[in-house]
Amino acid sequence: MTIYSLYIYDRHCNCIYYQDWHRTKRPRTAVEGGLLPAVSAAVYPKADEPAPDAAAGPDWRHPRNTLNSATGVVVAVNDDAPRSPLPPPRASSPPPAQAPSPSAALTFDEEAKLVYGVVLSLRNLVRKLSGRDEQFVNYTTSTYKLHLYETMSGYKFVMLSDPKADSLRFVLRQIYAGPFLEYVVRNPLVPMDSREQGIDNEFFRLSTDRMIRGLTVFE
């Protein structure tokens, strides 16, 4: 049992916060302009890096890198050759067979939009089927479970966890009632509802992290 990730969206459909924990399949960094600033430093496009694959880990979709990691020949040949374009060997490198598959290559902004789209469609589906103002709560697949908590002001808290976890709606409510109110709503330095900037700040990130790591489902 574990917890994978947390997304927060505002009422204008923008992703304003992201954090992840035990993900084995990380999203690629967002493309330029696809993501607001101050959402998550980990997935924000890195403009000032000269070579993106040197800093952000090996780019497995690149045909040359895939070849090198699969054969290992080029790495052993010549010490004088410039090594810098080659990725450093990683313990957790994925098998080359699955590396070029397009499903592993979602950028973060695409992923965030898909999550929002699924949540919104399911919300409308549940509302239509029940015939009243009923909320969508969660869904389960074979590898994860997605939970939704929506506040009165239209903020949507979305969490991905292990499929065997119970409903984590109360956790999302706790994040809202605790760290979110304390370090975002009551923080004069965070522009709420700006449509130009996320809500990421050190206090909120730390206190959310501490809360999630303290849960029994986190391990």
Partner 1 sequence: MAIWGLWVINKAGGLVYQRSFGDGLPHLTSNEYLVLAGTLHGIHAITARLSPTGTSSGANVISGETFKITILLTPTGTKFVLLTSLAENTADTVLQKVYEAYADAVMKNPFHTPEMPIRTEGFDSRITTIMSS
Residues that bind partner 1 (CB under 8 A): 4-5, 20, 22-25, 103, 106, 111, 114-115, 117-118, 121-122, 124-126, 128-131, 134-144, 146, 160, 167
Residue with tokens 């694959």: 53
Q: To the nearest whole angstrom, how small is the minimum distance from the Cβ of residue 8 to partner 1?
A: 16
Q: To the nearest whole angstrom, how small is the minimum distance from the Cβ of residue 136 to partner 1?
A: 6
Taking the least distance from each CB to partner 1, the nearer of 86 and 118 is 118
Reported as type and span, the H/E element at residue 55 is helix 52-55
Taking the least distance from each CB to partner 1, the nearer of 71 and 143 is 143
Is-contact 192 199, C-beta < 8 A?
A: yes
Q: To the nearest whole angstrom, how small is the minimum distance from the Cβ of residue 144 to partner 1?
A: 6
Token pair for 188: 């004069």
Angle at 211 between CA 208 and CA 214, to 5 degrees: 145
Q: To the nearest whole angstrom, how small is the minimum distance from the Cβ of residue 198 to partner 1?
A: 20
Is-contact 43 108, C-beta < 8 A?
A: yes
The rounded radius of gyration (Å) of the Cα atoms in the chain is 20
Taking the least distance from each CB to partner 1, the nearer of 160 and 184 is 160
Taking the least distance from each CB to partner 1, the nearer of 68 and 138 is 138
